[in-house]
Chains A and B, each alone.
Chain A
Amino acid sequence: MIGPDRACGRCEGAIPQAAGIGLRFAHHRALLDALPPIGWVEVHSENYLSGPALETLEAVRCRYPVSLHCVGLSLGSAQGIDADHLERIATLCARIEPGLVSEHLAWGRVDHAFLADLLPLPLTEESLAVVAANIARMQDRLRRPVLIENPSTYVQFAHTTIPETEFLTHLVARTGCGLICDINNIVVSATNHGWDAQRYLQALPAAAIGEYHLAGHGPVSAVLEGEASSGMLLDTHDRPVAESVWSLFADALRILGPRPALIEWDADLPALAVLLGQADRAAHHLQAVSAQGFDVQPA
């Protein structure tokens, strides 16, 4: 809940087992004016590396625990991660003192071209070695374990040899990282590739899960017509959390246990109140399972 003002002393930084919201520029003013009683906020680190937004984030950090969600370290890059970018993230961490730091099982950078997307990897032994080494480097520099998020994907490579849940489990074992269980991404990828979402949840290492993500999705047909994309889902973050995602979230709480849960909404942003309403719904789910006394705790 809301802590002290930074002017008098920064609030507690640990991310509570409560609902939080993804904070975007359009909601900065509304959040700081209203100071709604949400548990925590998460921002995309790359949007706060410099300029006026960084000063706003410091003001936000006075009142709320902050989670830094990175989107640009490209942990799947065969060439390793960009040392300069890692330094900028480390500087931001030192300044903000986040409760959690996270990244994705994805890549976006090769030969100095940054593609600004979370691109898919073939899940092979070679990729496992690459991603594990990059996570280790990130954790060494930040001097803390980080959480790695399962991605939404639209293609699968024929030479993939390791199922995604097994790949994530290996990363946890090799690096000591934790995981973000992105429920929306599971629904999107399971729909796109014909996976069983329940089995996916059951195959995740429960003790490593440190956070849930919840978001909205839409049909791929909105951006790509044709047979190749028929029936596929797109991870849009531009609408309320889908009912299928709420339903799988309830299953995840039962199977994996309660954790901090985040509402992500990145495009076509609604009024802050709408986002807070979604966070309320997530909080009710968390309270319901907490009341039942679930006892698996994060690592």
Chain B
Amino acid sequence: MSSLLEQQRALCRALLAMPGTAEAAALRIDGLDQPGHARLAIYRNTVIATITDALRLGFPAVLRLVGEAYFNRMAAQFIAISPPDRADLHLYGEGFADFLQAALPDTRLEYLGDVARLEFAVVQALHAERVAALDIATLAAMPPAHQGDLRLARHPALHLLALGNAAHAVWSAVLAPEGEARERALAALRPSGRSERLAVVNRAGAIEILSLDAEEFAFAQALVEGRPLIQALDCIAEEKSAQTLAFFLLQGFFVARISA
């Protein structure tokens, strides 16, 4: 008889194996007879349904775009190769965007992966640790001679996304209440190939998705990478820099990391 650990590994493989595959058919669990093996399908149903529900909650726009049947099929395949690694299922779905993009049968929904990336950033922002962001007053109180050496870190709720398609408009239109306005918005969408740069933030429980231009995005990215403020300023035109930094601070982009 195998040890408890070996048995749990075998059960895990059996529950995640896609039904009907040779791998699923070959799995044998110690201590279970033939009817017992058949009954493992009861557990498999619960495992896949519960984890799929977590993906449905996290990726509602993807669900609406592809429909129930396709979503559930994609979810089952994704769960089999990349099951949750923690019990907090709200944060499950890292890698789902890449998986969807790779699994797409054609180019009709080439923006689907980017919509999924945006949705996962929203989920992460929603569940991020609530910590105080660095504000303008704190920065202003620093001796000016030291401000240039200041290094910042990403606030846990901030997510910067450089996307190849205009996913934000798709996400907004797809999740809008059903009605004529939504239909018009959906009909007007031309998302493919229109790149965009977004910042997702959580302001006191409300998610905001901000569009950044190329300079602003590069500046924000340099700052969250921990480059000193004086170096990050190279990414942005001088006349825009003060205003943009003030905007970032107002939106709660950063926490202080190392003060000079």
Mark A residues whose CB is within 8 Å of B: 46-47, 49-52, 55, 71-74, 77-79, 82, 84-85, 88, 107-117, 119-122, 124, 126-127, 130, 154-160, 220, 223-224, 226-229, 232, 234
Contacts and interface: CB of A to CB of B under 8 A. Distances in A.
Given A116-B50, A116-B54, A224-B45, 13 more contacts: A51-B90, A51-B126, A82-B86, A117-B15, A120-B43, A122-B7, A154-B42, A157-B36, A158-B32, A224-B39, A228-B34, A228-B38, A234-B42
Given A52-B205, A78-B4, A159-B31, A116 B89 contact: yes
B25 to A, nearest CB: 15
Contacts of A220: 42
A52 B90 CA distance: 12
Contacts of A124: 4
A112 B85 contact: yes
Contacts of A223: 41-42, 45
Q: Most B CB atoms within 10 A — which of A55, A79, A117, A158?
A: A117
Q: For chain B, give the interface size range.
A: 35 or more
B223 to A, nearest CB: 25
A117 B9 contact: no
A115 B42 contact: no
Nearest to A109: B87
B16 interface: yes
The 7 closest A-B pairs by CB, nearest first: A72-B87, A157-B31, A228-B38, A78-B5, A228-B35, A50-B127, A78-B4
Nearest to A73: B87
Nearest to A107: B8
A82 B87 contact: yes
Contacts of A126: 3-4
A110 B9 contact: yes
Given A46-B88, A85-B87, A115-B15, A155 B36 contact: yes
A107 B87 CA distance: 12
B133 to A, nearest CB: 17
B87 A79 contact: no
A154 B43 contact: yes
A181 to B, nearest CB: 22
Q: Most B CB atoms within 10 A — which of A85, A110, A120?
A: A110
26 contacts: A50-B88, A50-B91, A50-B128, A50-B129, A52-B126, A72-B88, A77-B8, A78-B3, A88-B88, A110-B9, A112-B85, A113-B16, A113-B85, A116-B47, A119-B8, A119-B11, A120-B43, A124-B4, A130-B4, A158-B33, A159-B31, A223-B42, A224-B38, A226-B38, A232-B39, A232-B42
Interface in B78-116: 83-91
Q: Most B CB atoms within 10 A — which of A52, A74, A127, A157?
A: A157
A151 to B, nearest CB: 11
A160 B47 contact: no
Interface in B1-46: 1, 3-5, 7-9, 11-12, 15-16, 30-36, 38-43, 45-46
A127 B39 contact: no
B36 to A, nearest CB: 5
A115 B40 CA distance: 13
A217 B56 CA distance: 24
B51 interface: yes
A157 B129 CA distance: 43
Contact of B88 (A49, A127, A160): A49
B7 to A, nearest CB: 7
A261 B85 CA distance: 33
